[in-house]
Amino acid sequence: MKWVVVGDANYGEGSSREHAALSPRLLGGAAVIVRSFARIHESNLKKQGLLALAFQNPGDYDRIREDDRISLIGLSDMAPGKPVECVVKHSDGTSAGGSPAPRTACGANCGK
């Protein structure tokens, strides 16, 4: 089972070294969903094959809980500028919806 990181604004600030992006990949991470990225770190995540997503509505960050299950739907149809559907299920059985989208145009790893 893959996992995702959910982060706040300017995620990765001070973590521009490639190992800061390499570690989540080696530990089985699939995506990073944030309010916003530090520029260099976002680029390094993509180079490591991690999906770098930013919430279309930054307020959706507040709807995520620590023990949520997050499903990213339709990745095989992913395209630059097209939102990725994010289904969030809380541990109490309720759900919250958000729609993170690529912050920048998808590179060569898009959809793979």
Q: Residue 100: what pLDDT? A: 53
Q: Check if the beta carbon of residue 63 is closer than 8 Å to that of residue 98.
A: yes
Report CA 79 to chain centroid distance, whole Å: 15
pTM attached to this predicted model = 0.81
CA dist., res. 4 & res. 30, Å (int): 6
Domain count, the chain: 1
Is residue 111 domain-resident? no
Parent domain of 20: 3-102
Would you state the structure tokens that stand for residue 69, as one six-digit string? 């299950």
The enclosing domain of 82 has a CATH number of 3.20.19.10
Q: Residue 102: what pLDDT? A: 40
Is residue 23 domain-resident? yes
- State the pLDDT confidence band at 107, using cuts at 50, 70 and 90: very low
Query: Which tens digits make up the pLDDT trace of 61-95?
Result: 888 899 999 888 888 888 887 888 888 888 888 88
Residues facing 98 on adjacent strands: 86
Query: Which tens digits make up the pLDDT trace of 17-59?
Result: 888 899 999 999 999 999 999 989 999 999 999 999 988 888 8
Compare 105 and 33 and report the one with higher pLDDT: 33
Is residue 50 domain-resident? yes
Is residue 84 domain-resident? yes
Residues facing 55 on adjacent strands: 100
